[in-house]
Amino acid sequence: MTRTRSEDPNPAGRVNPAVWPARDNLESLRSMRDEARQGGGTKRIEEQHARGKLTARERIDLLLDEGSFEEFDVLKAGRGGHLGGEKSYLSDGVVTGHGSIDGREVFLFSQDFTVVGGSLGEAHSEKIGKVMDHAVRVGAPFIGINDSGGARIQEGVDALAAYGSIFNRNVQASGVIPQISCVMGPCAGGAVYSPAMTDFTFMVESASYMFVTGPNVVKTVIHQDISFEDLGGGAVHAEKSGVAHFVLPNDILCLREVRRLINYLPSNNLQEPPILDLQDPIDRTDPALDYLVPANPNQAYDMKVLIRSILDGAEFFEVHGRFARNLLIGFGRLGGKTIGLIANQPAVLAGVLDSNASVKGARFVRFCDVFNIPLICLVDVPGFMPGPEQEHGGIIRHGAKLLYAFIEATVPRITVVVRKAYGGAYIVMNSKHIGADINYAWPTAEIAVLGPRGAAEVIYRKEIRESSDPHVVLSEKEDFYRKTFANPFLAAKRGYIDDVIFPRDTRGRLIRSLQVLEGKTTQRPKRKHGNIPL
């Protein structure tokens, strides 16, 4: 029999002990959930908004598909501080759970700065650890939204142990699932190492900062006054240190870009990246590419013109756009499939490879390799950056990282030599000699040990020195060397270039090559792991 609303299970004051405790628990549950969702309270939420920042839950709502968030451990609380009797808080300053982005499952945490400054303690880290473990078991991307004052000092060594447990999980999950960090507030001390070990780090202008030691410590130790922004703001880490891959103006745009990134990535290392058909014809040609490379070999051009021309829908998701701008890296699609793109940028430092560019490229190549993303390399490189600053800074070691990363990669690897490909830099940029699968060249390609001028100065040094007009002889010998050696046809005759192609056909040739390489398999010697020159 169905009970009507008017039928009270406790009429006329008759107490039913089996019912009323349950009602009390229901009310308690509602109250506790409300308390947890209020975070640090209305005043602190208003202070968060006044700083131009969203709350932990507002960020989750923006990041995930509407209504998809399922929260874990909303009632979990810490044991309280060991010092000074600090009270415990429901949710312990972090919101954790899972939801979807465009229908694909992700796990995440979002630190709540309104509760004890988002500081990390034992319960806080246990919540994060739980969702990280779930992400690995399920095979889903993991996203961390950082907004924390650091370790909870009141919990003493337990707070340090808490950080260690997260770092351990970061390493175990590396190469298994994509890990993304959003630094949307302070991130200092030991807290910085978790984002540093994840695959991609986002920051927000004028709202987030990262540093191992803050301005006060800097002033005490080296007597230098420096602001939070100048020490570890988004611009610093995007342009100088390379810690941040993306810096956005505000929380909303930052979270939107995270959603875009997820759409290029597979959920784990055993899956392929998602396919998205942008209705861009596979056989589309672009006659303008035939005239992209200037007649003057020393004149710059923008490699992004070529990149956008060949990619589906001209959509290029650039990574590390402000750091080492002489090398371009990022994601795009060819024939609906995600590809990782590495390209020299002639418009910046002539596209030369230096230490920062080498490290930037190496890490991206390794990411693409572990997550089954084919690599496309567009080459216009005059060599490695010369000079004592680069040599003393370890350009040999850093250049070896990029070389190592390409050789180690087992995903399909395709190279197009657009213009210059000189010396060791030619070899490093995914040449046939280090295992690239298919290598194309444009008719404008110049493949040689040295550039024509440098080669002429070495080969014909005696003739130039003894000539009555050295400049004329040098110019003649330079032109001779360029026509004889600095072209793609000699390399093609040797089989180092699979084909010299018309620039307008580049897109179609790349897509067809990717189709051929879909079933590629590679056998490697049995080993624990190699020893990359870090």
CA angle (93, 247, 260) in 5-degree steps: 85
Q: Which of 78, 144, 189, 351 is catalytic?
A: 189
Size of the chain in residues: 534
| Cβ count within 10 A of residue 16 | 13
* Sequence-ordered list of residues with C-beta below 8 angstroms from that of 137, at least 6 positions apart, any chain: none
Beta strands in 231-325, from DSSP E residues, in sequence order: 246-248, 317-319
At 495 the three-state DSSP class reads coil
Instruction: Name the pairing type of β-strands 94-101 and 70-72.
Output: antiparallel
For residue 385, what is the DSSP state? P
H, E, C per residue of 326-340: CEEEEEEEECCEEEE
Annotation says 424 is catalytic: yes
Helix (H) or strand (E) holding 201: strand 200-204
Q: Which of 214, 424, 435, 454 is catalytic?
A: 424
Contact 90, 74 (CB under 8 A): yes
Instruction: Name the pairing type of β-strands 70-72 and 499-500.
Output: unpaired
Torsion 396-197-409-491 (CA) sign:
negative
Q: Which of 36, 162, 207, 425 is catalytic?
A: 425
Helix (H) or strand (E) holding 406: helix 395-408
Residues 450 and 387: their CA atoms lie apart, in Å, by 17
Residues 373 and 375: their CA atoms lie apart, in Å, by 6
* End-to-end Cα distance, the chain: 73
**What tokens does 479 get?**
């032109």
Q: Which of 80, 139, 156, 190 is catalytic?
A: 190
CA dihedral 257, 370, 307, 318 (to 10 degrees): 30
Contact 418, 445 (CB under 8 A): yes
For residue 507, what is the DSSP state? H
Q: How many Cα neighbours within 13 Å face the side chain of 342?
A: 30
Annotation says 190 is catalytic: yes
The CA radius of gyration of the chain, in Å to the nearest whole number, is 28
At position 301, the amino acid (one-letter code) is Y
Annotation says 189 is catalytic: yes
Residues 362 and 358: their CA atoms lie apart, in Å, by 6
Residues 92 and 125: their CA atoms lie apart, in Å, by 9
The neighbouring-strand residues paired with 341 are 330, 376
Which strands form 94-101's sheet, in the order they lie side by side?
70-72, 94-101, 104-111, 142-146, 179-183, 200-204, 246-248
Point out the residues that are catalytic. 189-190, 424-425
